[in-house]
Amino acid sequence: MRAIVRALFRLGGMAVALPLGAQPPTELWLRGYSVIPTPQRVQLGAGDVIVDATWRLDPGAVSPEHIAVRSLAADLREFHGLELPRGIAERRVIRLGIAPGTVRTGLEPGIDRQAYRMRITPEVVEITGNADPGLFYGVQTLVQLLKRDGAGRLRLPVATIEDWPRLELRFLHWDSTHHQDRIETLKRYLDWAARFKANMISFELSDKFEYPTHPVMGAPGAFTTAELQEIVHYGLERFIQVVPQIPAPARMAYVLKHPEFAELRADGNNYQANWCDPRTFDLIFSMYDDAIRATPGVEYLFVSTEEVYYAGIDPRCGTPYNDENRSLAWVEFVRRAHEHLTKRGRKMLFWAEYPLLPQQVKLLPPDLIDGVIGEEEYLEWENQLGMRQLGYVVLQEDERLFPDYLGLERAGRMALGRLESAFEYLARGRHWRGRPIGVFGAARDDSGLHNETFWLGWSAVAQWGWHPGKASAAQHAAEFMRIYYGPNTEGMVEVYRSMQAQARAWERTWDRVASRTRGPGYGSAEGKGLGTTRYDLTLAAPGLPRLPDLRFEPVVRRRYQAFIEEARRRMLDNDRLVHALQTNLGKAERNHYNLEVFLSLARFIGHKWRLLDRMAQAEEALEQARQSALRTHPAQAVAHLVTAYRLVERARRQGERIFAELIAVYEKSRFPKGQTVGGRKFVHVFDDTKDHWADRTPDLSFMMAPERSIGLDQWLEDLAHVTRRYAQMHNVPVKGLAEIPPGE
């Protein structure tokens, strides 16, 4: 059992002692009410309030077109089936208002504007915001609090709530490196981000924006300036800034892959631009300008200075390539980017990490916001400058198919899941020893996960950016399920746990071999040419019988006995998971598409278990064919050969059908990956340094690539040939292969 550690962190000017892993339930949760994020101050009274259609909605002096008024009316109708008439009333009324200073936070203005007070009595519900954002956030709390009792009546607790965020900026990360969401999808994401009181989106655009200055950069069908402005406006109306994040000068394969920019490749690699060429600055800054024009009303721009492994490596730089010069080159880029953005009225966020040397932090502009604090040693220098920081947590990194949100057993020990790790870091991380201004929840597209798998993590970052150290990971997961899917779903935490367990088992039941399609990469953080072997997932095909006597050596059963045993154990769990998802699709009141994505993934994983099982059964049939041949029963031998063929062929066809269904589900919310638009084709290249799963193919076939690499089509063709030749040799008819022509 993990030892309980007590830690101190400073919250709102007061030192608070919190035992790790032992957070008690919040007051509202103990009364059966759910709110994400947990409010700062809750004073509960006795009893509950019944809200029904006899109540009125009184916007007061707030415009009827205010987003708080419109979203309250819409969500009451959509989530609770409650249509309230608008009008002035003294009793049985929900009354809205804005009055500066209603809640005295004692914090900076950016936080103070987000504060609100809610007073709930049997006759009146009053929501008053310090400013427009505060009123909007109060409305989100009200909609979440409402719940139905056993008699079907909507209830609220008698209470006074005063609430504000502890941190001003609460970033969710949208990474579009390897996919492009549809606009209606992004608007839905903004709706739910607003419900969880997130107010910043770091939109990693890569090539999913048109870049009018250099149109070749934008992938076919990339968002136009007008489309990005539409998304930005939709967010701003909900008090969310969609902040462009431009990967540059590293992670630039989406630009440098084009011949037009070949001369700017650092040391010839696609990954990083040559900082010693002034055209690199002109190019990147023109990209910033394009993004700024497409995001009016946004205050920030995220300069993605991450993973800059080789600053100044190009021979054309003319300076020694060493630690100090690498750091100085990095500093020069940051300073010039800051100067460029400041002139255009944008505040700059950046990643402070390798190759920056701690002592050179002092060379940076003090009004930068450090989005990651990559090294402990940076803090002392950043504090001297008065620099602000974000608390950075990773919600998903290398996991495929589904994130590791919940606790995992590894080597006989329980490891923290990403939820609990995020809870503890956002409550006690190193940013608290700096001057934190916000939080950032990173979730990458490199491993090909669908964004619907990120919502539990995204909501957690919003939760603990608003109220660090409150609402345990376990409580948050339970509250999320109730709010996101509705109160009628069953066992959703266990559904997530099962999705996670199935995904991890799917990962480990492959061979990991040096890539057959991609050569060694350029390098890694360890240095040029180091740690660059790329790996593929695959399995060996079953053994093949040999003529004339059907001699046979099993491959699958000898090499993969542990995989086969796990597959057979996981099949029943997968069946339970599929049934649980189907059940909850019928019970969920909202976000059905999320469950549809999960179901397509569960079926995709379940196919893997059946494939392993069928390949093992096929080898058993081939062994029986060999024994029949030895006993000179050629008709039986042919029957066993046909059985082996049909076991694998059915599994292969089923896999392709399930994968086609998965693509159809994914593309309800996304454009086809690597799409061709107006005759313009997507230019596909591998990243020079990263071993991304999702960049291995221009389309979604990277998900099916491990199975297709087994070579089952060729194996089936070879087995069909052996079967027909053996049958001819013994004058035995072949039944069962007639409908499958040779070679198919």
- 34's CB contacts (< 8 A; 6+ apart) are 28, 144, 145, 147, 479, 482, 483
Residue 499 placed within a domain: no
Give the pLDDT mean for 578-591.
98
- Host domain of residue 111: 41-163
Same domain, 268 and 319: yes
- Residue 414 above 90 pLDDT? no
How many Å apart are CA 709 and CA 327, to the nearest integer?
42
- Residue 8 above 70 pLDDT? no
Same domain, 609 and 664: yes
Residue 150 placed within a domain: yes
Same domain, 382 and 412: yes
What was the pLDDT predicted at 424?
96
- Residue % of the chain over a pLDDT of 90: 86
Same domain, 466 and 539: no
In degrees rounded to 5, what are phi and psi of residue 19? Answer: -80, 125
Each residue's pLDDT tens digit, 57-89: 999 999 999 999 999 999 999 999 999 999 888
- Residue % of the chain over a pLDDT of 70: 96
- Residue 740 above 80 pLDDT? no
How many Å apart are CA 702 and CA 692, to the nearest integer?
10
Each residue's pLDDT tens digit, 518-567: 888 888 888 888 878 889 999 999 999 999 999 999 999 999 999 999 99
In degrees rounded to 5, what are phi and psi of residue 606? Answer: -60, -35
Q: How far is CA 75 from CA 78, 83, 638, 642, in A?
A: 5, 10, 65, 59
- Residue 738 above 60 pLDDT? no
Provide the number of structural domains found in the chain. Answer: 3
Residue 737 placed within a domain: no
Give the pLDDT mean for 35-62.
96
**Average per-residue pLDDT in the chain?**
93
Same domain, 444 and 538: no
* Neighbour-count burial for 658-669, b at 16+ CB within 10 Å, e otherwise: bbeebbebbeeb
Which of the four pLDDT bands, split at 50, 70 and 90, describes residue 483? very high
- Residue 650 above 80 pLDDT? yes
Each residue's pLDDT tens digit, 322-365: 999 999 999 999 999 999 999 999 999 999 999 999 999 999 99
Q: How far is CA 415 from CA 21, 404, 580, in A?
A: 13, 10, 26
Give the pLDDT mean for 38-55.
96
As a residue count, the chain comes to 744
Name the nearest CA neighbour of 442 among 528, 359, 371, 370: 371
Q: What is the 3-state secondary structure (H, E, C) of 408-474?
A: EEECCEEECCHHHHHHHHHHHCHHHHCCEEEEEEEECCCCCCCHHHHHHHHHHHHHHHHCCCCCCHH
Which of the four pLDDT bands, split at 50, 70 and 90, describes residue 686? confident
Residue 249 placed within a domain: yes
Same domain, 109 and 258: no
Same domain, 543 and 430: no
DSSP single-letter state for residue 199 = -
Which of the four pLDDT bands, split at 50, 70 and 90, describes residue 739? low
Q: What angle do CA 87, 91, 95 make, to 5 degrees?
A: 55
Each residue's pLDDT tens digit, 147-159: 999 999 999 999 9
For residue 266, what are its two tokens?
């650092």
Give the pLDDT mean for 49-54.
96
How many Å apart are CA 83 and CA 89, to the nearest integer?
16
Same domain, 52 and 196: no
Where a domain ends, among 420, 455, 470? 470
Query: How many other CB atoms are there within 10 angstroms of residue 631's CB atom?
Result: 10
How many Å apart are CA 8 and CA 18, to the nearest integer?
7
Same domain, 234 and 151: no
Give the pLDDT mean for 478-495.
97
> Residue 75 belongs to a domain with what CATH number?
3.30.379.10
Same domain, 458 and 606: no
Same domain, 186 and 128: no
Residue 36 placed within a domain: no
Give the pLDDT mean for 632-647.
96
- Within 515-657, strands assigned E span 523-524, 527-528, 535-538
What was the pLDDT predicted at 743?
40
Where a domain ends, among 163, 195, 217? 163
Rounded to a whole number, what is the distance in angstroms from the first to the last CA of the chain? 56
Which of the four pLDDT bands, split at 50, 70 and 90, describes residue 1? very low
- Assess contact for 407 and 417: CB atoms under 8 A: yes
